């Protein structure tokens, strides 16, 4: 598979997949977060891996981008289905044992994939995650910041999903409260990205709604010590949703894992200012 997108039937659904690099090289599977699509992984970021002899695969999970979608507000699948999808994708693509890189909800999928399908996983790298996954009570870990809680309390109503301009503005502005407060928020760049995301989505309403409604299933924090593959935990120092204590706790639960703090980074997918740290870390981790 080259760099063109393909739709592949996996686990009873159609998933849109895109590969970068030589399929003969070690495979790296990127798992995006809730409400996102494969576009969350910047092409330049991905190409840095492919240039260093990695075969990098990014894909749209259910309700994202060009993959199978469900009615807005009524997904008929849970988090474990996303895990089964990822496992099926590794198998169907013939990736052997893949290196996993998961962000936020993708971090949860990656944790469970390493636990339930170790035969498919070469290594684990997770970012902006929490031990045991979103949706579970973690009374020993810090809650979201007061500022983010206030944002949720006063969150703007969802737009008319058929009004492209309104959805673009809604999506771009929704990134602001999750970004690092110590760096300027580039609204125009976020608008450009939002336009690409909206124009590519089969159902943007489903993408921005359904992934947040999924049943996370039984907690698995108590199982994290069973992960036997090399693990790397990356976490923003200014993550307002899962403050850095979540990443530190996740690293502490996985035997032998490494923890890397990303300065001036919020709950966001490896902003460009982190690449000089993140790319070498991930290349070394997947060597």
pLDDT tens digit at each of 287 positions of the chain: 445 899 999 999 999 999 999 999 999 999 999 999 999 999 999 999 899 999 999 999 999 999 999 999 999 999 999 999 999 999 999 999 999 999 999 999 999 999 999 999 999 999 999 998 777 778 899 999 999 999 999 888 899 999 999 999 999 999 999 999 999 999 999 999 999 999 999 999 999 999 999 999 999 999 999 999 999 999 999 999 999 999 999 999 999 999 999 999 999 999 999 999 999 999 999 99
Task: Decide if 72 contacts 158 (C-beta within 8 A).
Answer: no
Residue 34: which of 120, 129, 100 has the closest Cα? Answer: 129
The predicted pLDDT at position 24 comes to 94
Percentages helix, strand, coil for the chain (3-state, rounded to 5) are: 40, 15, 45
Q: How far apart are CA 216 and CA 213, in angstroms?
A: 9
Sequence-separated (6 or more) residues with CB below 8 Å from residue 212: 34, 35
Q: What angle do CA 47, 58, 102 make, to 5 degrees?
A: 100
What radius of gyration do the chain's Cα atoms show? 18
Task: Decide if 172 contacts 147 (C-beta within 8 A).
Answer: no
Q: How far apart are CA 271 and CA 186, in angstroms?
A: 11
Q: How far apart are CA 203 and CA 286, in angstroms?
A: 34
Alpha carbon distances (Å) from 134 to 137, 215, 220, 246: 8, 10, 11, 11
The predicted pLDDT at position 4 comes to 83
Q: Is 18 helix (H, G, I), strand (E, B) or coil?
A: strand
The predicted pLDDT at position 2 comes to 45
Give the predicted TM-score (pTM) of the model. Answer: 0.96
The predicted pLDDT at position 155 comes to 80
Task: Decide if 33 contacts 104 (C-beta within 8 A).
Answer: yes
């Amino acid at each position: 598979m080259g760099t063109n997108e393909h739709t592949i039937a996996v686990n009873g659904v159609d998933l849109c997949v895109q590969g970068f690099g030589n399929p003969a090289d070690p495979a790296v599977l990127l798992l995006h977060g809730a409400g996102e699509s494969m576009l969350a992984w910047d092409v330049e970021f991905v190409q840095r891996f492919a240039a260093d002899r990695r075969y990098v695969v990014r894909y749209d999970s259910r309700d994202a981008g060009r993959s199978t979608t469900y009615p807005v507000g009524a997904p008929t699948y849970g988090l474990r289905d996303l895990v089964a999808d990822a496992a099926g994708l590794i198998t169907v693509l013939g990736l052997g044992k893949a290196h996993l890189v998961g962000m936020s909800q993708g971090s949860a999928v990656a944790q469970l994939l390493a636990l339930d399908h170790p035969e498919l996983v070469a290594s684990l790298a997770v970012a902006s995650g929490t031990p045991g996954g979103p949706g579970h009570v973690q009374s020993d870990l810090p809650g979201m910041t007061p500022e983010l809680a206030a944002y949720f309390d006063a969150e703007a109503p969802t737009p008319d999903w058929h009004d492209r301009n309104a959805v673009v503005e809604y999506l771009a502005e929704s990134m602001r409260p999750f970004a690092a407060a110590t760096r300027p928020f580039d609204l125009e760049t976020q608008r450009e990205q939002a336009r690409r995301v909206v124009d590519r989505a089969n159902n943007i309403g489903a993408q921005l709604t359904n992934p947040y409604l999924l049943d996370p299933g039984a907690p698995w924090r108590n199982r994290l010590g069973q992960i036997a593959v090399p693990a790397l935990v990356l976490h923003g120092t200014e993550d307002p949703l899962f403050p850095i204590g979540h990443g530190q706790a996740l690293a502490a639960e996985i035997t032998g894992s490494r923890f890397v703090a990303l300065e001036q980074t919020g709950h966001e997918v490896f902003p460009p200012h982190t690449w000089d740290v993140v790319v070498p870390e991930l290349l070394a981790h997947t060597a």
